Structure 1
Amino acid sequence: MSSKYQRGNTGPKKLKWRWKDETENRSLPQSWADNGRTESPKENEVQLYAIQCRAGLLLEWLVNTRTGKLLKGPLSEKPGIRVLYVTADGEYAVLKESEAREIDDSWKPPKQFVSIIAKDIEGADPVPDSSQDYYRRSVEDLYDPS
Structure 2
Amino acid sequence: GKRWVWGRLVYVIATRLDSKQKSKQTDDDFLIIITAHEPQNALTDYRRRWGIETLFGALKTRGFCLESTHFIDKRRLSKLLALLAIAFVWAMKAGLWRHSQRPIRIIKAHGRRARSLFRYGFDLLRRFFTVSTQPLLGSGFHPIQFLSCT
Smaller-chain TM-score range? Answer: under 0.3
Q: Which has the higher strand share?
A: 1
If the length of structure 2 is used for normalisation, what is the TM-score? 0.24
Q: Which structure carries more helix by proportion?
A: 2
Give TM-score, length-normalised by structure 1.
Answer: 0.24
Structure with more contact order per residue of length (Cα contacts < 8 Å, sep ≥ 6): 1
